Amino acid sequence: MRGRIGTTMVALVISLGPAGSSVAAAQDVPSSSAPPAPSPAIRALSAIASDFRNVAAVDNALIAGVGAALALAMHPEDNDITRRAQANEPLEEAFDGGSVLGDGWLQVGAAMGTYAIGRFTSNLRAQAVGAELCRAQLLNGVMTSALKASFSRTRPDGSQHSFPSGHASAAFASATILQREFGWKIGAPLYAAASYVAASRLSENKHYASDVIFGSAVGIIAGRSVSIGSGANRFAVVPVPLHGGAAVTFTRVTTP
């Protein structure tokens, strides 16, 4: 994902109004004696600042560590995997849709569309979810663009900014938001779609396996950072030491 998405999203999210407000807060009516409520722009900026702080959460650090470890393990096979995927014509045709589905502008448009529908229909839940999707794409765009600029890895086709995959990160960011809001009945197919997007970048000769693996981790971190404390289908990630290695457990955290 290019840096312009991150810049554009700043303007988009600020214009959304109560992006970081909860549904309950949206229903509150301040009394005449209460201090004036912050402007929509101030509330949006406050929510965005909170999202960036949440990136440093312990669970997110674990996800980043697992993603980095898997990417490093895959790195020696990067060229061979991408070459074989790109040379397989039926596979390449089957994954053609991933380029469109994971495009940053499509992800941003879907997020804004969700919010707009919520406003038009006065559906506060849709507004809240749409705002979270927009904030997730903003956070994801900034993180992905910063990493691309820092590593400046050459793509398999010779162009620039391969690591990490912006298509993979954008798709996984949206999937994470919706899974945490609506549970695995919605989340499972969306994660499958995000995996399809990630795999398509190999057959399109745009990325290496390590690019899409870490890009997926970045997207999950972005979605979790925005949705921390929201939804009723959250999972705690806990490392567990084992004899000769380690494991990671996922424990469902229910809202009282």
* C-alpha–C-alpha distance, residues 42 and 147, integer Å: 28
Can you give the pLDDT at residue 35?
A: 65
Mean pLDDT by 10 residues, the chain (256 residues): 41 38 43 60 80 92 96 95 91 89 93 94 93 95 96 95 96 96 94 96 94 97 86 45 46 44
Q: Which two tokens stand for residue 100?
A: 């469109």
CA torsion sign for 117, 225, 95, 201 is positive
Q: Do residues 163 and 28 touch, judged by C-beta distance below 8 A? A: no
pTM of the model: 0.76
Query: Nearest-CA neighbor of 18 among 111, 109, 131, 136?
Result: 131
* C-alpha–C-alpha distance, residues 166 and 140, integer Å: 8
CA torsion sign for 177, 178, 182, 188 is negative
* DSSP at 17: S
Q: Annotate 225-246 with b (16+ C-beta within 10 A) or e (fewer).
A: bbbbebbebbeebeeeeeeeee
Residue whose pair of structure tokens reads 């765009």 in the numeric block: 141
Alpha helices for the chain (secondary structure H): 3-14, 23-27, 40-54, 58-74, 78-87, 89-94, 97-101, 104-121, 124-151, 166-182, 184-203, 209-227
Can you give the pLDDT at residue 159?
A: 94
Can you give the pLDDT at residue 253?
A: 44
End-to-end CA distance of the chain: 38
Query: Nearest-CA neighbor of 233 among 183, 190, 174?
Result: 183
**What separation in angstroms does the CA of 244 have from each of 19, 71, 143, 247, 256?**
46, 21, 34, 10, 38
